[in-house]
Homo-oligomer: A and B are copies of this chain.
Amino acid sequence: MKAQIITIGDELLIGQTIDTNSAWMGAELSKIGFDVSRKISVHDSYHDIKNILGEVTGRADVVLITGGLGPTSDDITKKVLCDFFNSRMVINAEVLSMVEEMMKKRGIAMIERNRLQAEVPEACRALTNARGTAPGMWFEKEGTIFISMPGIPYEMQYIMNEHVIPDLKKRFSSRCIIHRNIMTYGAPEARLAEMLTGFEQSLPECIKLAYLPNYGVIKLRLTATGENKNLLEKTVNEQVNILYEIIPDLIFSATEESLESFVGRSLRKGNQTMCTAESCTGGKIASMITGIPGSSEYFKGSVIAYDNNIKEELLKVPRDVIRKHGAVSEEVAKRMAEGARRLLKTDFSLSTSGIAGPDGGTREKPVGLVWIAVSSDRGTVAEKHLFYLDRIANINRFSYAALNLLRKQIEAK
Contacts and interface: CB of A to CB of B under 8 A. Distances in A.
Interface string A299-333: 11111111101100010000000000000000000
Contacts of A343: 314
A116 to B, nearest CB: 10
Nearest to A286: B283
Interface residues of A, number: 106
Contact of A74 (B20, B208, B256, B309): B208
B30 A15 contact: yes
Contacts of A300: 306-307, 309-310
A25 B200 CA distance: 33
Interface stretch (A370-378, A390-398, A401-409): A390-398
A93 interface: no
B295 A283 contact: no
A388 interface: yes
Contacts of A44: 210
Residue among A113, A286, A388, A393 with the highest chain B CB neighbour number at 10 A: A286
Contacts of A11: 210, 212, 221
A17 B221 CA distance: 12
A294 B42 CA distance: 37
Contact of A194 (B12, B111, B194, B393): B111
A18 B16 contact: no
A42 B37 contact: yes
A154 interface: yes
B282 A287 contact: yes
B74 A108 contact: no
Contacts of A28: 15
A353 interface: no
Interface string A4-41: 00000011111111111011111110100000111111
Interface of A: 10-20, 22-28, 30, 36-44, 48, 52, 70-74, 108, 111, 113-114, 131, 133, 152-154, 157, 179, 181, 188-191, 193-194, 200, 208-214, 219, 221, 223, 256, 276, 278, 281-287, 289-291, 293-296, 299-307, 309-310, 314, 343-345, 357-359, 388-393, 395
